Chains A and B, each alone.
Chain A
Amino acid sequence: MDPGLRRDDNGVAAGRAIAMIYVIEQVLNGAQFGVMLFLMAAGLTLIFGIMNVINLAHGSLYMVGAYVAAAVFGATGSFLIGLAAALAAAIVVGIALEVTLFRTLYARDHLDQVLATFGLILFFNEIVRILFGATALYMRVPDFLNGRVEILPGAPYPTYRLAIIAVGLAVALLLYLLIARTRIGMLIRAGASNRVMLGALGVNVTLLYTAVFALGAALAALAGVMAGPIFTVESGMGESVLISAFVVIVIGGIGSIRGAFVAALLVGIVDATGRAYLRPLLALFTSRAAADSAGPALASMLIYILMAAVLFVRPQGLFPPRGR
């Protein structure tokens, strides 16, 4: 069935208008998913771009955020207290990890970082099962964001998802201002290009790195909290989104917040429209059975194909960082 055509058409013009709204709705769905990915990718690309460390455990911080928020929200009944607790917990865990482990890893090659942070993933996935039990946690949409807004005629959109878009845009703006307009941002940029020189100038680079890591952890936890009410709060929830977030930062150019934002939207929209249109599109060229079989498989691969294609044309991503 072709989603672009509705059976209860009264006229061609009305049908076209409805079909157009449906297209816009799917693009919006993609953009919303993209913003969700951006929240996750921002912290990842920040840590990678500045400390040059691959942190596979970024997904674990996302999971910690979601678990703490779900537990505290459930106990207190307040989403905002849950959010605050999740951010605090992720910052504490982030600082603890930075001080005990990542400081040693900065000087190591990427392989050691991959192995150590893979070890962290295994550890965190089991620890949350020991602490919170094996059952996925319940987390509902907070009352003040429950409900729907009819931004498109005939297609009411969940308010909570609009809130995710708002949070993502706010984070993007704040990060831009922080890095481009503040003294800390200047130090961060300086640290990214030359750590030794920055230290020689009397800046406490160790402290700066800890602060950046904590910021990255907080961003991951924020993504986890926002994801909690719509996704499943369970052990291992970080991995699938981690892979997507890596795809995003690689397409965007590692270390570039702007690149991450553009790539996140691109990945989100390509994924959504692929899921919505690939199968009907294939059905135009091949038999329906072949489209039924190939469509979903191709849709699953789409973001990887996108990444491979982008890297084929631009081996450093869309917005390669300068001066490195």
Chain B
Amino acid sequence: MRAIDARGIAALVCLTALALVPVIAAAADAPFYVGLFARVMIFAIAALSLDLILGYGGLVSFGHAAYLGIGAYAVAILSFHGVTNGFVHFAAALAAAAVAALVIGIVSLRTSGVYFIMITLAFGQMVYYLGISLNQYGGDDGLSIGRPSDFGGLVDLADPTILYYFVLACLALFLCLGGRAVRSRFGVLLQGVRSNERRMVALGFPVFRYKLAAFVIAGAVCGVAGALFANLTLFVSPGIMHWTRSGEIMMMVILGGIGTLLGPVLGAAVYLLLESVLSRWSEHWQAILGPLLIIVVLFSKSGLMGLIRAPRPPHG
């Protein structure tokens, strides 16, 4: 119980710190950081959704960027056809990503282990090539979005600060829902499947349905992240669905620490900030980022969260 409280406090501290970013950025005359951290939080939501199935469910999906792209394209394509209503945008992004995840999940979840990694990668690549072939929506050139999602005066996403707090609210919501989900009967069952699937099947649980439900929820949440991403960049292209992007989202989860709620947030922040800082410093920044990732793997068994939490007695 104490551990849960500590986690809750950590999440609160984290969210409060994020809430202060626009204030500090305005004071320091550095508005650029508002956009950067909005980007960080959007990837944090994507990473969080992946962690739900990867960390808690043991399902290593290597095609998660597909849902990010589907969510973003849902917004862009609706805008392209003149639909600007934000509620429609987000509902469509969520639904489209959920349906895609349902179809992909039904096929992929028949396999396990490395086969699952590869089949999800295959579906990710199919969606990527599908994006390139969408000639009327710009194909590889991508599609510009005239205006952000319109919530009828409720929130004005054209203002970078309001968009920032909107993303933050989404992140807080998903963290909160995620925290509840993993402690719920559903979450506990999911973790049971990860540790011993055969036993769960033997106990008579409809394991496949649970895994599929988790897979669809993760896809849908990632679709929302995609819709937010479309609002941040006001531009989508198939590039956001490339397999390397799926790899990056997975890196964020592993880097932060799988099977934790704050881990993916931390991982997304560290990964994107390192990328931003290192790439300004040297064009050979990837020669530095690569070994850093290896060091994290070698010296921490559960990512950065493992480093922060320090050695702690088991079940403490």
Interface positions of A (Cβ within 8 A of B): 48, 54, 101, 104-105, 108, 110-112, 114-116, 118-127, 129-130, 239, 243, 246-247, 250, 254, 293-294, 296-297, 300-301, 304-305, 307-308, 311-312, 315-317
A224 to B245, CA, bound (A): 25
Contact A311:B115 (CB < 8 A) given known A114-B254, A129-B284: yes
A126 to B283, CA, bound (A): 9
Picked from A115, A130, A312, the residue with its CB within 8 Å of the CB of B254 is: A115
Cβ–Cβ contact B115 & A250, under 8 A: yes
Min CB distance, B104 to chain A, in Å?
9
Q: Which 7 A-B pairs have the closest CB atoms?
A: A297-B133, A123-B290, A119-B293, A122-B290, A126-B287, A304-B122, A122-B286
Q: Which residues of B from 107 to 122 have beta carbons under 8 Å from A?
A: 107, 110-115, 117-119, 121-122
CB 8 Å contact bits of B154-186 with A (1 = contact, 0 = none) = 000000000000000000000000000000000
A110 to B112, CA, bound (A): 12
Min CB distance, A149 to chain B, in Å?
35
Name 7 interchain pairs, CB-CB below 8 A, sorted by A.
A108-B301, A122-B289, A122-B290, A123-B290, A126-B284, A243-B121, A307-B118
Contact A111:B289 (CB < 8 A) given known A304-B122, A312-B110: no
Q: Is B52 an interface residue, CB under 8 A from the partner?
A: no
Cβ–Cβ contact A111 & B258, under 8 A: yes
A127 to B294, CA, bound (A): 16
Contact A123:B287 (CB < 8 A) given known A110-B60, A297-B132: yes
Min CB distance, B264 to chain A, in Å?
13
Cβ–Cβ contact B129 & A311, under 8 A: no
A294 to B132, CA, bound (A): 11
Per the CB 8 Å criterion, the residue count for chain B at the interface is 44
Picked from B119, B250, B286, the residue with its CB within 8 Å of the CB of A307 is: B119
CB neighbours (8 Å) of B117 from chain A are 54, 110
A307 to B247, CA, bound (A): 19
Cβ–Cβ contact B290 & A296, under 8 A: no
Cβ–Cβ contact A307 & B284, under 8 A: no
Contact A304:B286 (CB < 8 A) given known A311-B115, A312-B110, A315-B111: no
Cβ–Cβ contact A116 & B297, under 8 A: yes
Cβ–Cβ contact B294 & A116, under 8 A: yes
Chain A CB within 10 Å — which of B54, B294, B301 has the most? Answer: B294
Q: Is B23 an interface residue, CB under 8 A from the partner?
A: no
Picked from B285, B289, B301, the residue with its CB within 8 Å of the CB of A119 is: B289
A313 to B116, CA, bound (A): 14
Cβ–Cβ contact A301 & B125, under 8 A: yes
A129 to B125, CA, bound (A): 27
Q: Which residues of B from 270 to 310 have beta carbons under 8 Å from A?
A: 284-287, 289-294, 296-298, 301
Cβ–Cβ contact B133 & A315, under 8 A: no
Min CB distance, A106 to chain B, in Å?
13
Cβ–Cβ contact B290 & A119, under 8 A: yes
Min CB distance, A218 to chain B, in Å?
23
CB neighbours (8 Å) of B285 from chain A are 126
Closest A residue to B282 by CB, please name it.
A126
Contact A294:B287 (CB < 8 A) given known A104-B298, A311-B115, A316-B115: no
Additional A-B contacts beyond A115-B251, A122-B293, A243-B121 (8; CB < 8 A): A108-B301, A114-B254, A120-B290, A122-B286, A122-B287, A123-B294, A305-B126, A311-B111
CB neighbours (8 Å) of A294 from chain B are 133
Cβ–Cβ contact B284 & A130, under 8 A: yes
Cβ–Cβ contact B114 & A119, under 8 A: no
Contact A116:B298 (CB < 8 A) given known A122-B289, A130-B284: yes
Q: Is B25 an interface residue, CB under 8 A from the partner?
A: no
Q: Is B243 an interface residue, CB under 8 A from the partner?
A: yes
A111 to B250, CA, bound (A): 9
